[in-house]
Amino acid sequence: MDNTFARCEDLVFSYDDESRDVLCDVSLSFKRGEFTAVLGHNGCGKSTFAKHLNAILLPCGGSVYVDGIDTKDEERLYDIRQRVGMVFQNPDNQIVATIVEEDVAFALENLGVPPEEIRERVDEALKSVGMYKYRMHSPHQLSGGQKQRVAIAGIIAMRPECIVLDEPTAMLDPIGRREVLKTVKRLNREYGITIILITHYMEEAAMCGRVIVMDKGKVLLDDVPKEVFSKVELLKSVGLDVPQVTELVYELNKYGLGLDQHIITEEECTEALIKLLS
């Protein structure tokens, strides 16, 4: 069977009230089980792109296929949404119910799953994000990171193949960020769920298997993190950062030190510096 999970071809999109194309000719495909980061400054079209993956938005030109289903196929709308779950930035604005477990059950109730099975899947989902003991809490008693994990559980309960996370850590403190990332990584590793992570944090992107950089509605770079981050100047020109260690190597290389520009982790940087200084 084909290993491609989602695929878009020459995707073009513009909002009704704007003449400018938010997405122009985006062609990308995602493999099953892949862990991809999408980078780009605010307004580069990355959130708009994400909303095409579960048919919240439909293309103005080109096509998007999810698990072989064309997202324009209205008959199969809920098949698509059940396969691709979405987590948003603001944890407060995506929790519907007043009790954690009721919220996690929300999607399954919408899909008409029998009550006993909902119970089972809700408990399982809450356990997989480590929030089972908070199941009877009300959302406003939780921290930002915990709320985001509840939101993820609400998606996991649908047993999706793919989760798209739109800046899920932007409003969280470092502890919350770590909690969420750990959870997402585990879901990818243990359940093989395809992850598409939109983020502004370069360290988060550095740990993914693949990084896509978007600018002005187009795909600028699409490669493994090492290759993407080695293009320091290009990234800076589109308003993005590189990890601090990459930046240091870049600065040092201006002196002709000839260090490997593919350094993106602390360990690699430490080794390189030891070599340099000994």
Partner 1 sequence: MIKDITIGQYFPGNSIIHRLDPRFKLVIALAYIVMLFAGNVFVSIITGAVFCIVSFALSRIPFKLMAKSLKPILPILLFTSILNLIFIDTGKTVFKLWILKITSGGIETSVMMIIRITLLITGTSLLTYTTSPIALTDAIERLLSPLKKIKVPVHELAMMMTIALRFIPTLIEETDKIISAQKARGADMENGNLVQKAKAMIPILIPLFISAVRRAEELATAMECRCYRGGEGRTRMRQLKASAHDFVAAGVTMIFFAALIAVNIII
Partner 2 sequence: MAVLKTENLSYVYSPGSPFEKTAVDNVNIEIEKGEFVGIIGHTGSGKSTLIQHFNGLLKPTSGKIYLNGKDIWEDKTQIRQVRFKVGLVFQYPEYQIFEETVYKDIAFGPKNMGLSKEETDRRVRATAEAVGLSEGELFKSPFELSGGQKRRVAIAGVMAMEPEVLILDEPTAGLDPKGRDLILEQIKKYHRTFGTTILLVSHSMEDVARYASKILVMNESKLFCYDETAKVFERAEEISQMGLSVPQITRVFNELKSRGIDLGEEVYTVKFAKELLVDILKKRGKLHD
CB of 88 to partner 2, least distance (A): 12
- Residue from the set 63, 89, 94, 261 that interacts with partner 2 by CB under 8 A: 89
Site string for partner 2, 43-72 (x = CB under 8 A): x-----------------------------
Listed ranges 110-118, 129-137, 164-172, 224-232: which one lies at the site for partner 2 (CB under 8 A): 164-172
- Residue from the set 41, 182, 186, 231 that interacts with partner 2 by CB under 8 A: 41
CB atoms within 10 A of CB 104: 29
Select 124 or 247, whichever has its Cβ closest to partner 2: 247
Radius of gyration of the chain (CA): 20
- What's the rounded Cα separation, in Å, for the pair 78 and 147? 25
Q: Which of 140, 5, 155, 137 is nearest to 66 (CA)?
A: 5
**CB 30 within 8 Å of CB 6:** yes
- What's the rounded Cα separation, in Å, for the pair 247 and 115? 53
94: contact with partner 2 by CB under 8 A: no
Which amino acid, residue 102? Answer: E
User: Residue 217: CB partners within 8 Å, gap ≥ 6?
Assistant: 21, 22, 23, 24, 26, 44, 45
Q: Select the binding partner of residue 251 from partner 2, partner 1, none (C-beta < 5 to 8 A, by kind).
A: partner 2
CB atoms within 10 A of CB 245: 21
257: contact with partner 2 by CB under 8 A: yes
Burial of 213 (0-12, 13-18, 19+ CB in 10 A): buried
Summarize as ranges the residues that interact with partner 1 (CB under 8 A). Answer: 51, 54, 56, 78, 81-82, 85-86, 88, 90, 92-99, 101-102, 105-115, 118-119, 122, 138-140, 151, 154-155, 158
- What's the rounded Cα separation, in Å, for the pair 164 and 51? 9
255: contact with partner 2 by CB under 8 A: yes
Q: Select the binding partner of residue 174 from partner 2, partner 1, none (C-beta < 5 to 8 A, by kind).
A: partner 2
- Residue from the set 98, 173, 191, 192 that interacts with partner 2 by CB under 8 A: 173
Interface residues with partner 2 (CB under 8 A) are 41-43, 89, 143-144, 167, 170-171, 173-176, 200, 202-203, 239-241, 243-245, 247-248, 251-252, 255, 257, 266, 269-270, 273-274, 276-278
